Amino acid sequence: MKFIHAADIHLDSPLHGLSAYPDAPAAQLRNASRDALRQLVDRAIEEEVAFLVIAGDLYDGDWKDHNTGIFFGQQMGRLRKAGIRAFVLWGNHDAESEMTRKLTLPDNVTVFSHRKPEVHRLPEFNVALHGQSFKDKAVVENLAVGYPEPVPGCYNIGVLHTALEGYTAHASYAPCTLAELHAKGYDYWALGHVHEFQQWSGPSTIVFPGNLQGRHIRETGRRGAVLVTVEGGETRVERLYLDVLRWEAVAVDAADCVTIADLARKIGQSLEALLTVDGHVPRTVRVTVTGRTPAHGLFFGRATQLRAEVLNQIGIIGNERLWLEKVKVATSAMDLSHGETEQLEALEDLKQILADAAHDPEFLALLERDLKPFVGKVRSEVKEEVPLLSLARSGELTALVQQVGPALLARLAQGE
């Protein structure tokens, strides 16, 4: 017997972080969650699974219009034609009280009640599914403790949308512990809410499949669902990668780069290596340049140039599979240990002056006075490309001096 466990589909949720860029893949951004759901249904039909479980947050909140529900109905209709049932549990984003628009679901779709935990039995597969939907967005009580005892002789599946213990990055909805879930005596727990894949073994197999499609740069790497195979009393979990646009964070060490061209080629190599795994899946990439490098001063304040260089590398590799979200420079300067003695002494003196200036109220007041008119005249697109301007605009002048100082020293050390 096989079934698919998915969660956190967030159907029609927008993807964030690319819309401001003219080269953004608008159509793929707009349709990513739908395309991922379509692939989920494709895989369920291909695998001839017994049923599909969606453990909360199918939707991303109330629909803007009925088209979201119509699309979901179409996909469930495909499962219906294949003889596959679906069991849906509402989570915090699609809780009963949050949804004002509704459509009649196909008869192969069963939704867990929000009033109390309930059991749905599938005698043909000897399976019992236990679950309770969210009535309200902020469910803070432990729902798991109220789930019924396992049905004797059945493969028991608990479906639950929960923060679980230790996931402080996620709102603490329906909190519970691993020990409580194991103690319930179910064979498998189909969890939702946490967007990263996690699996625990023990008396029960407990799984967060992660979200179906990454939506921003904080949700990097492969995304999808899990295929669960139950055979001979054993439970086997296989990850299914179903995302149609993948977010990636690429760190490039610039320690051995002395020119922008050196860095550009190294970034190109890193991006090309990225496509050796699941090369058919388009990527949205954030590139962070790191390392202690002699070119720290050269890279500093060159956001526009570096972005253009990365876009050029993407064009060389094949821009139909790669899009750039952002380039961040997080390099640091080399130690001032090479050069003429007189030059080193002067640089060390300047280093101390800059360190003192960062905490000198009189200097900072003068700096603010001089920068304020300039920052006010800078075009908005330039402000976006030069992060240091945001420090000047918000009056964080100590941080500004602390960031500019090392870059200035690095350039002077290179004789610029």
Q: What is the CA radius of gyration of the chain?
A: 27
Residue 129: CB atoms within 10 Å = 27
Least confident of 225-239, 319-333, 349-363: 349-363
138-186: pLDDT as tens digits:
888 899 999 999 999 999 999 999 988 866 555 678 889 999 999 999 9
CA dihedral 41, 43, 45, 48 (to 10 degrees): -140
What is the per-residue pLDDT for 138? 80
Residue 263 has pLDDT above 90, yes or no: yes
Residue 343 has pLDDT above 50, yes or no: no
267-310: pLDDT as tens digits:
999 999 999 999 889 999 999 999 988 777 778 767 788 889 99
Q: Taking the CA of residue 144 as centre, how many other CA atoms within 13 Å lie in the half-sphere pointing to its CB?
A: 27
For the chain, list the domains and their CATH numbers.
2-241 (3.60.21.10), 246-413 (no CATH)
What is the per-residue pLDDT for 292? 86
Binning pLDDT at 50, 70 and 90, where does residue 206 land?
Answer: very high
Q: Could you write out the three-class secondary structure of 79-110?
A: HHHCCCEEEEECCCCCCHHHCCCCCCCCCCEE
- Name every residue whose Cβ is closer than 8 Å to that of residue 229 and which is 6 or more positions away in sequence: 1, 2, 235, 236, 238
What is the per-residue pLDDT for 172? 78
Average pLDDT over residues 186-205: 96
Candidates 248, 235, 53; CA nearest to 159 is 53
Report how far residue 73's alpha carbon sits from residue 80's, in angstroms, rounded to the nearest whole number: 10
Least confident of 7-16, 229-238, 265-274: 7-16
Average pLDDT over residues 223-249: 96
- What Cα–Cα distance (Å) separates residue 292 from each residue in 114, 206, 243, 387? 55, 43, 35, 20
Instruction: Transcribe 306-368 into DSSP letters.
Output: HHHHHHHHHHHH-TTSEEEEEEEEEEEEPPS-SS-HHHHHHHHHHHHHHHHHTT-HHHHHHHH
Residue 350 has pLDDT above 50, yes or no: no
Report how far residue 122's alpha carbon sits from residue 127's, in angstroms, rounded to the nearest whole number: 5
- Name every residue whose Cβ is closer than 8 Å to that of residue 377 and which is 6 or more positions away in sequence: none
Give 405 or 130, the one with higher predicted confidence: 130
Residue 19 has pLDDT above 80, yes or no: no
Q: Is residue 286 within 8 Å of 248, Cβ to Cβ?
A: yes
Give 353 or 189, the one with higher predicted confidence: 189
Residue 372 has pLDDT above 80, yes or no: no
What would the two tokens of residue 121 be? 């039995």
Residue 347 has pLDDT above 50, yes or no: no
